[in-house]
Amino acid sequence: MKRNEKGNKAFGTKAVFLLGVLAAALTFGLVLMGCPTEPPDDPSNNAGLISVAGVSPGAWTGDGTIASPYQGTITVANDKATIEAADIGTASGAAAVLYYTSSYDTERTTPANITSSFPSGTTLYIKVTAEDGSTVAYYKPYVNRAPAGGLTTLAVNTWEDGNFTNTGETYAQWYEFTAPSAGTYYLWRNDSYYGSGKTARVYLYAYSSTDGYLGVVSYSTDAYNTGRLGQTLSSGDKIYIRAYASSYSGTYAVRVTDSPVAPGTPRISNITYTNPTASSSVTSPWTQVSGRWQSPTITHNETTKIRVDFDTTAANAVVIINLEVSSESGYDYAFVGYLNNTSADRTSNYYDRISGSTSKTVVISVSTAGSHFVEIGYAKDGSGNNGSDCAWFTVE
């Protein structure tokens, strides 16, 4: 009996030992075979372009195909005169290639030159291939070089003070505004509520990252309490503003707002409508559609007008007219007449007019308190039709 117990113990010890040796050998063999303990990650399909010369692009438009590549504006440092593939930052594991044209078929063998004439720039054509080797995205960024004096960022509805110790274009100062959301934005130079003591005679030249030159706000044509150059922007769109003093160095102020009037500006009240006016060539009235007034159907050489009466309780109140048209461009017009005047038409005596497929915010300053009116109309010439062939407006 004792012999058997001793034999069983010996057998058990040997079995445990042999199992340990077998496990160690198996582990050693797997290591030698290079078998991982975890499966490898799949290659990434991220074909993102994350920077150009160290600058992030912001929001892209487009869908990343050759037909509709991703587009956006990127402002690099002033001393960055050329761009090559090594300057393109991509998602991890992805690779970028620069091309000469939008066909993306001839790879660049030389760097792309970036013009120094800000805000002009250079269009690049870039294809990014993801780590997986099959996912690709096409990019068409517009790259410009910051002005030598740098760019000052403007926040919406916020004044930025400036100062000129010298006059002339050589000393121009540049600003950059990025639309925080889709909407219409306005450029201001001082106003009667802010900066009435500013001394520099400043011109503000505005440029869009999508539409180029927009216009100028001059010291001699300022309209106090009224924003200028209203531009409809998508979220992420940029406006560049060049300020320079033609004479009288000193201080000035600039801002971009999402309203065409300054806070605290007197507004109109008691709005009523005469629809249509007696001077209309048709009797069909304007109708309200989705909260806007819409002109009736008219034919060639006809005019329809509606009169807007309102009161002001203080001097220098403003009336804001949001005007839109869909018409034969250059021939059929939506128009706004002068204050307290009934003679406006598509070709004469109008305060403002628009044609084609567009919209505009028209701001009229009313110098005296009391009862006033303005006429709004749509008129066609002798032939041709296009678009919806009508006008719309709201008044506030």
Q: Is the pLDDT of residue 230 over 60?
A: yes
The reported pLDDT for the residue numbered 41 is: 76
Asked if 30 and 51 touch (Cβ cutoff 8 Å), the reply is no
Q: Is the pLDDT of residue 6 over 60?
A: no
pLDDT in tens, 157-185: 888 888 888 777 777 888 988 889 888 88
Q: Is the pLDDT of residue 261 over 90?
A: no
pLDDT in tens, 280-291: 999 999 999 999
196 — pLDDT class (breaks 50, 70, 90) = low
Q: Is the pLDDT of residue 241 over 90?
A: no
pLDDT in tens, 75-134: 888 889 999 999 999 999 999 999 999 999 999 999 999 987 788 888 999 999 999 999
Q: What is the mean pLDDT of the chain?
A: 83
Q: Is the pLDDT of residue 2 over 90?
A: no
Asked if 286 and 304 touch (Cβ cutoff 8 Å), the reply is yes
Percent of the chain at pLDDT > 70 equals: 83
Stretch 231-255: mean pLDDT: 81
The reported pLDDT for the residue numbered 171 is: 75
335 — pLDDT class (breaks 50, 70, 90) = very high
The reported pLDDT for the residue numbered 214 is: 75
